[in-house]
Structure 1
Amino acid sequence: MNKLIIDITNEKFFLMIITTGSTYNITCENTKINYEKLTIIINDFLLSKNLKISDINTIYINKGPGSFAGIRNSLSIVKAFNVAKNIDYYSYNLDDFKDEKDLSYENVPNLCKKYKIKKNLINPIYIS
């Protein structure tokens, strides 16, 4: 199973691919231009690892708190992947896991399972 983690709530946005044998990640500047190019950035990242979006089984997306524009754009893209490619997603918030000692992006899929984060449900948390 291939998993994609997207976090665009901070000063830099973060993408991670978790495959059966490897983990890859990149960070990019969190700018308006990169929001508009997010699908291209995701696609280029996947292609650099010889993957395509249809190879992804599940997406994990940080729903905030954070920038309204970043959260809105990333959630829209994940919803589009769900509709177009039938890719399930989990929308998490790092506060969901505040009692965890091993809080790392690599562990987000296991934490979503442990804390019973609901699949295909988004309730964003914006900073005003």
Structure 2
Amino acid sequence: MNFLSIDCSTDLGSLFIKVENKTFSKILQSDKYSNDLLMKQILDFFAENDLSFSDISEILVNQGPGNFSALRSSLATAKGIGLAKNLKLFGYNTFLWSCIKFFNKQDIIYSLTKYREKYFVKKFNKNLISNTRAEEITKEEITKKYNNNFKVITKKVVKYFDNEILKLDNLNIVTLDHKELEFLRLRDLLEKSLIRPMYLS
């Protein structure tokens, strides 16, 4: 599986390419998220590594949560490349991405994030299937209701979390790895139709 992954969900975004057994990655600053600048970053990234779009067959793009305009720009860019180069397009979200390491290891996983001073939680089963929307939740609810539950947060958002939450039992801080997205693709867990920004109110 050869693919390009685009993640513009946080202040420090990233590009990732996997071609055969080789991988390439690049960090993006948030001021490079506009359509034109992002496209240039992607083209430069391919050129720097002596690659072309013919080397990949799929594009994976993060749907969020995150800055809505940045997500919208990255999705539009990904869709444009997909149409122009006849590449398959798939979407993923950070809630799901953060749970990959615990596939079939925990019956229930709660993925937590913080966005615009609000906490949100999304529930997954052991097969990383979720039938619920991301819900807003208070710090007090997290510490009382979810204290004993298996929880994950990404390393990128730890700095935004209250220390009381970070001291809870069964809290796992995970580093997101683009290489693991291939697992979601092979398990048919990526979005194929409604690829749009994940909006948290």
Pick the TM interval, shorter chain. Answer: 0.7 to 0.9
Rg (Cα) greater in structure: 2
Shift of 1:53: 2.3
Structure 2 runs not aligned, ≥5 long: 103-175
Q: Partner amino acid for 2:89?
A: Y
Tell me how large the CA RMSD over aligned residues is.
2.0
Q: Which stretch shows the higher mean deviation, 57-66 or 81-90?
A: 81-90
Q: Partner amino acid for 1:17?
A: I
Instruction: Establish whether residue 45 from structure 1 lines up as the match of residue 45 from structure 2.
Output: yes
1:57-72 equivalence runs, <5 A? 57-72=57-72
Q: Give the TM-score taking structure 2 as reference length.
A: 0.57
Contact kept, 8 Å, 1:63 with 1:71, in 2: the verdict is yes
Percentage of identical aligned residues: 31
State the Cα deviation string for residues 35-64 of structure 1 (Å, max 9, x = none).
231111000000111112233211110000
**Does the C-alpha gap of structure 1 residues 3 and 121 become closer, same or farther in structure 2, counting only changes over 3 Å?**
same
Structure with a larger share of its residues in strand: 2
Q: 1:98 & 1:2 partners in 2: Cα distance?
A: 22
Q: 1:34 & 1:93 partners in 2: Cα distance?
A: 18
Which residue is 2:199 aligned to?
Answer: 126
State the Cα deviation string for residues 80-115 of structure 1 (Å, max 9, x = none).
112111111110012124443275211102123325
Q: 2:5 & 2:99 partners in 1: Cα distance?
A: 21
Q: Which stretch shows the higher mean deviation, 57-66 or 92-101?
A: 92-101
Q: Partner amino acid for 1:101?
A: K
Q: 2:15 & 2:178 partners in 1: Cα distance?
A: 9
Shift of 1:119: 2.5
The count of aligned residue pairs is: 127
Q: 1:10 & 1:80 partners in 2: Cα distance?
A: 22
Instruction: Establish whether residue 113 from structure 1 lines up as the match of residue 186 from structure 2.
Output: yes
Shift of 1:65: 0.4
**Does the C-alpha gap of structure 1 residues 47 and 18 become closer, same or farther in structure 2, counting only changes over 3 Å?**
same
Q: List structure 1 segments (4+ residues) > 6 angstroms apart after TM superposition.
A: none
Structure with a larger share of its residues in helix: 1
Q: Partner amino acid for 1:24?
A: F
Q: Partner amino acid for 2:68?
A: F
Shift of 1:30: 0.7
Which fold has the larger relative contact order, with Cα–Cα distance below 8 Å and residues 6 or more apart in sequence?
Answer: 1
